[in-house]
Structure 1
Amino acid sequence: MGADRAVVAEKVQRRYRHPGRRRLDDRKALCGILFVLYTAIPWEFLPQELGFGSGMTCWRRLRDWQQAGVWDRLHQLLLAELHAGDQLDWSKAVVDSSHVRALRAAQNRSEPGRPRQGGLETPRDHRR
């Protein structure tokens, strides 16, 4: 996985004329992201004393990495490495589609949380 690490981490250059603050190290930002996700605290409550940067910095880094496809590539690399080492046990795998939006179900409801009656509903104006 050594050669593939360059694919995941991209070097961000500082501006020459207006460099601003130094960019937080990716490892520290990752630790901050994991801390917030593990403890379920709000981003703004990430303790500065831990050295992970601010919650907003970690949130932005998470957003940027998500948009750049870093998490998908990391997942693929991890699966490939585990597969190559024969460390995957597919007999214990679980398939779950709860992360997929159900667009059709949302269209088939007349009121939020109330299923439609399959075309048998009559508008209230016509019940007189």
Structure 2
Amino acid sequence: MLDTGCRWRDLPEELGCGSGHTAWRRLREWQAAGVWDRLHQLVLDELSDAELLDWSRGCIDGVSVRSKRGAS
């Protein structure tokens, strides 16, 4: 979905995620429960412990959002 632009309802059943609605609902629930943030931190910790991260360089990405008229 995020990478391919696939619609939820077009998810192949053989992925084992259930219906597109079920997959969407689970993703929403896991996001609200902080699952992805915790998983991300666990992966970073594992890579750091194995000395597989190089923190000498980094990239920060940002998004520009148009402001309302008259906003400062």
Q: TM-score, normalised by structure 1?
A: 0.47
Change (3 A) 1:74 1:47: same
Deviation of residue 92 (structure 1)? 4.2
Contiguous gaps of at least 5 residues in structure 1: 1-35, 111-115, 119-128
Q: Deviations over 1:47-90 (max 9, x none)?
A: 22443311110100000000000010111111111111110022
Residues 60-99 of structure 1: pairs in structure 2 closer than 5 A: 60-98=25-63
Name the structure, 1 or 2, with higher relative contact order (CA <8 Å, separation 6+).
1
Q: Does 1:106 align with 2:71?
A: no
Specify the code of the residue in structure 2 equivalent to 1:93.
G
Cα root mean square deviation, aligned: 2.5
Residue aligned with 1:88, SS:
coil
**Which residue of the partner structure matches residue 22 of structure 2?**
57
Q: Deviations over 1:74-122 (max 9, x none)?
A: 1111111111111002244211132xx75xx523x26xxxxx8x9xxxx
Q: TM-score, normalised by structure 2?
A: 0.77
Identity %: 53
Specify the code of the residue in structure 1 equivalent to 2:47.
L
Give the number of the structure whose alpha-carbon radius of gyration is greater. 1
